A and B are shown apart, each in its own frame.
Chain A
Amino acid sequence: MKRFTALYFELDETTRTSEKIAALGRYFREAPPLDAAWAIFIVSGRKIGKAVSSRLLRQWAAEASGYPDWLVDQCYRVVGDLSETISLLVPTVADTNAPSLHEIVEERVRPLGSITQDSQREVILGTWSQLNTDERLVFHKLLSGNFRVGVSKQLLIRALAEVADVSSAVMAHRLAGQWMPDETTMDRLLARHDPAAVADSGTPYPFMLAHALHDGTSSLGAIADWLIEWKWDGIRAQLIRRAGQITLWSRGDEVVSGAFPEIIQAASALPEGTVLDGEIVAWNDETSKPEPFIRLQRRLNRQTVEMTFWPEVPVTFIAFDALEIDGADVRDRSLVERRAMLETSFPTTSTLRKSTPLHYETWDEVLHIMEEARSRGVEGIMLKRLASPYQPGRPTGLWWKLKVEPYTMDAVMIAAEPGRGRRAGLLTDYTFGVWDNGSLVPITKAYSGLTDVEIVEIDRFARRHTTGRHGPVHTIEPLMVFEIGFEAIQLSPRHKSGIALRFPQILRIRKDKKPAEADRLETMQELLRSMGY
C-alpha cells in the first residue's frame, strides 16, 4: 500500500504526461506482481466491488475522531472531497505498517459487500488504524468505487507498453476484455513476445486524423479533387474482422466491443480479413438523423450492455474508409480506390452503413450547406483529398475538418455556488440570466472555460456582491456579463425560461458590456423557432 500510495500522489500532483508515464513505469517495474496487477485493474477504471455508503463512512469517521457530525460535515465543505476529509480526520497511530495493496483489495475491500454492517465497521476501523493519512485517502478512493487519478486508459497503455517493450496497440489488446488479477497477470501483460499471437489479431491500424480548416477553402484547389462528407458526431472506431474474431476499437486504443453488441453481431456479415474505419453514432430511425453524442456516452460507461438496452439507444456504425480488404492492407491505395472497395465490401443494414459522399460543384455551396449541419445532427463537414493514402497521425493537407461554430449569447451572472475538489471553497459554478420584461430569468449554468486567475477574480467579485444566500447558493448582484457558447438549444418545460442549452461554456468575460446590454429571452426564443421548435 505504501508504494501504491506514493504512485497515487505522484500521479495526482503532476499534469505532465511524461512524469506520469515515468511514475507508472517505475511502479510496474518495482511492485510485487500481484500488487501491480491490482493497480492496473484499478487505474484502468474497473470496479473492485460494492462500496460502503458514504453516510456510514462519515458516521464512523466522526466516531473514530471523536468530533460531532456537524464538524465532520463542515470539514467536508472545506476540503471538497469526502475520501480526503475522512483521511485527515481519523487519528493516525504511530508507526503504522500498511498491508500490501492486494491484501487491502482482496481481504478488506472486496468482501465488504457480503458482510454485515457491524463487520464492515470493524474492517474499516481496523484498516484505518493500520494506515497513515495518505494511505487512508487511497483506501477511501478504493472504497468509493470511483478511483480517478488523472490517468487515461491510453496513458496507462503507453506506460505498460514501454515497460513490456511492445506497441501500444498490442498492449491495448492485452488489457482489453474481462480479467481478474492473479499471480500470472503481469507475466501475461508484460510478455516480450506474445505466445498466443492470435490474441493480437484484433490489433487496429493507427488512425488517420484531420486538421481543422481555419484559412478558408481557397488554398484547397479544385473541388473535384476532394471527397466531401458529413462529420459524424460519435465515436471514431475501427471495426476489425480477422481470424474469426470481431473487434471494435475506439480511437482511444480501447476495445469497445462490449458496449456495442449489435455492431459486433452485424459485423459477422463482413468478409474475413476486413478492417473498416468509421464512426459509431446514436441513430434515430424515425427522423433518419443522428442523436446527440451524449446518448452514446451512457453506453460507453458500461463494460457490457444487456440486449434489453438496445432499443433505448440504437446505434449504427457508419463506415467511411476501408483499411484492409480480403486480408490485404490497402492503406497505400488512394482514397478513391479505398472507397470503391468499401462500397462492395458489405451490404448496408440499419446497424452497418456507409457514409454517403456529398456532391457539390463549388466551395461556396459547401460553405452554404454547413448551415444545415446543426439541423442534420452532424458536427460539420470533412474534406478528404481523393488521391490521398491512409496515413497514421495527422498528415498536413490531406484531411480537413470544418466544424460548425457554437452559438453564443451574452448573459448576466445572477448566482454562484462553490465547486468541488480542486475548486473547493471557490465560487465556480455560475448561473446566468437573460432579460425578460425587465427582469433576469435563469437561462443556463456554466462551469468551464475560465482560467484559474479569472476564477479567483470572479470568486472575489461574487463574494463582494452577494445579496442573499440559499444554502450554498449565493445570489449575486447582476453586474457582470459573460459570453456563453453552446452547441444546441431545445425546449424544456423543466426550466423556468422554457429553454435548455446543450454544452454551455463560458467563452469570455464581457467587461465591455453593461448588464442592460445582455441578450433577451425573446432572442433565444427566436433561435429556438428557427430550429423548428
Chain B
Amino acid sequence: MNTLKYFSHPKFAMPNIFPTMPNQSLIIETDRGLFCPAGDFYIDAWKSVPRNIVTHAHSDHARRGSDRYLTASDGVNILRHRMGRDAVIDPIPYGQIIELNGVRVSLHPAGHVLGSSQIRIESAGEIWVISGDYKRQADPTCRAFEPVRCHTLITECTFGLPIFRWIDSSVVAADINAWWAGNQAVGRTSILLAYSLGKAQRVLAGLDANLGPILLHGAVHAITEAYRGSGIELPPAGYASVENAKLHRGKAMVIAPPSAMNSTWARKFAPFSSGVASGWMQVRGFRRRRGADRGFVLSDHVDFPALLETIEQTEADHIIATHGYTDALVKLMRERGKQSSALQTRFGGDEEESEETVETPVVEGEA
C-alpha cells in the first residue's frame, strides 16, 4: 500500500461545506464540487481546493487553481497540458490503492478518454464508486471501462434515456471514411467537428489514412501530440495550416473542435462539407440545429442500455445520478427497487472546450 502523505497532510483545514446528503455519506456535494469529508479531498472540484482528484481532463471536470491534483498515470500528460506547467500533479496507476486519512482510494479505467478514471472510495467497509464520464464501447485510444463492485454508485447519465443506443463504432468509422471519399469525389474538403480532447483522437484512429491527407486544427493537434507522447498509436496527421489547406484542397480530412465552425477559420478550406461526431446526432432535431452537412453518432458517454448494464454489474443498491437526464434514471431505479437520488453538479465551461454534457437538452414537465 502506498500512502501519499503530502496529499493528505493535516495542515489543510476542513473547508466550509454545505452538505446536502446525510452526514454518514462518504461523498457530499459542496459549493466547490464533490467532497469526501472522511478522506478530506475533493473530486473534480470547480473551484480552488487543497486536494483534488480529477476523473479526466475535460474542462467541466478539471479546473485550474487547486493546490494538488491526483489523476491516473495514463492521463498525466493531458492533465498537465490543461492545468499548466506549474500544477502539482500526482499520478497513480489504475488499480493501485492509496490511503487518505484512512480512506482507501483507487482509480479504475472509465473508457471515456485517455487517462479517464472511475474513483473507488472505501471507508469502514462501505464502498462508493464515482463513475466520472464513461463509456462501454471499444475505443483504441484509451483503456476499456472496468466495472467495480460497490454499495453506492454515482453515475453520469448524459445520455440517460432509452432513445440513446449507440451503433457499433466500427460502423460509424466506415461511414466517416465513406463520407470522406464521397467528398473527395466532388472536390470538397471534409471538416469533421469533434471535441479536441478524446473524440478527435478516437475519430482519427478510425480514419483510413490511405484515402488522403489528414489535417488537425491547432487545438486538436496539441492534444493529439500529448496522446502520441503517452504511447497511443494514431495515423499520421499534419497541421491544418493555410499552406496545407491550399495544398490539399478537396482531398483532406480536417478534424477541428466544434467552435471552429463559427470562425473564419473554416473558410480557408472551402469548398468543404462539414460533419459532426456526437451522441446528440442520434436525434434529428439536434442534428438539424447543429447545421452541419452530416451527423455521425459517436459518443464518449455511455448509452442507455450499457448504463443499466453497468449498474447491474456494480451490484450497487444505491444509485446516485448526475449530469443529464437524472430525474428519469432516479425514477426508473426506484421503480426497480433501488435506493436512488440525483446530484446537481454544476457544469458548463469555457466555450472552446465545451464538452458534450453542457448541451443536455432540458426535459420539460414532471420527472
Contact = CB atoms under 8 A, between A and B. Distances in A.
A74 interface: yes
A71 B161 contact: yes
Contact of B165 (A71, A74, A88): A88
A455 to B, nearest CB: 9
Contacts of A200: none
Given A75-B162, A77-B365, A68 B285 contact: no
B363 interface: yes
Interface in A484-525: none
A417 to B, nearest CB: 8
B284 A418 contact: no
Interface string A70-85: 1100110111110011
- Among B286, B293, B364, B365, the one with the most A-chain Cβ atoms within 10 Å of its Cβ is B364
Contact of B163 (A12, A79, A418, A452): A79
A425 B328 CA distance: 16
Interface in B284-303: 284-289, 291, 293-294
B332 A71 contact: yes
Given A70-B331, A71-B332, A472-B365, A78 B163 contact: yes
B186 to A, nearest CB: 11
A36 to B, nearest CB: 24
Nearest to B297: A133
Contacts, number: 71
Contacts of A468: none
B365 A80 contact: no
B356 to A, nearest CB: 15
Interface residues of B, number: 26
A220 interface: no
B162 A421 contact: no
B287 A89 contact: no
- Among A89, A425, A471, the one with the most B-chain Cβ atoms within 10 Å of its Cβ is A425
Contacts of A421: 285
A463 B362 contact: yes
A78 B325 CA distance: 10
B335 interface: yes
A460 B367 CA distance: 21
Interface string B269-293: 0000000000000111111110101
A67 B162 contact: yes
B285 A81 contact: yes
Given A78-B161, A88-B282, A13 B362 contact: no
Contacts of B289: 422, 426, 452
A71 B365 contact: no
Nearest to A425: B361
Contacts of B163: 75, 78-79, 85, 88-89
B59 to A, nearest CB: 19
A472 B364 contact: yes
A78 B164 CA distance: 11
A424 interface: yes
Given A74-B328, A79-B283, A88-B282, A65 B162 contact: yes
Nearest to B287: A13
A70 B327 CA distance: 12
Contacts of B284: 12, 81, 84
B365 to A, nearest CB: 6
- Among A68, A74, A425, A472, the one with the most B-chain Cβ atoms within 10 Å of its Cβ is A74
A79 B286 CA distance: 9
A423 interface: yes
B43 to A, nearest CB: 28
Interface in B321-367: 325, 328, 331-332, 335, 361-365
Contact of A422 (B165, B282, B288, B332): B288
B335 A425 contact: no
A462 to B, nearest CB: 11
B301 to A, nearest CB: 15
B80 to A, nearest CB: 34
A463 B361 CA distance: 12
Contacts of A85: 163
Contacts of B161: 71, 74-75, 78
B285 A422 contact: yes
A36 B151 CA distance: 58
Contacts of B332: 67-68, 71
Interface string A14-34: 000000000000000000000
28 contacts: A68-B332, A70-B331, A71-B161, A71-B162, A71-B332, A74-B328, A75-B161, A75-B162, A77-B364, A78-B283, A79-B285, A81-B284, A84-B283, A88-B163, A88-B164, A88-B165, A88-B282, A88-B283, A89-B162, A89-B163, A418-B364, A421-B285, A422-B285, A423-B285, A424-B361, A425-B286, A425-B362, A426-B361
Interface of B: 161-165, 282-289, 291, 293-294, 325, 328, 331-332, 335, 361-365
Given A12-B284, A452-B289, 18 more contacts: A13-B287, A13-B288, A13-B293, A13-B294, A71-B161, A71-B331, A74-B363, A75-B163, A77-B365, A78-B161, A78-B163, A78-B363, A88-B282, A88-B283, A89-B162, A422-B289, A423-B285, A425-B361
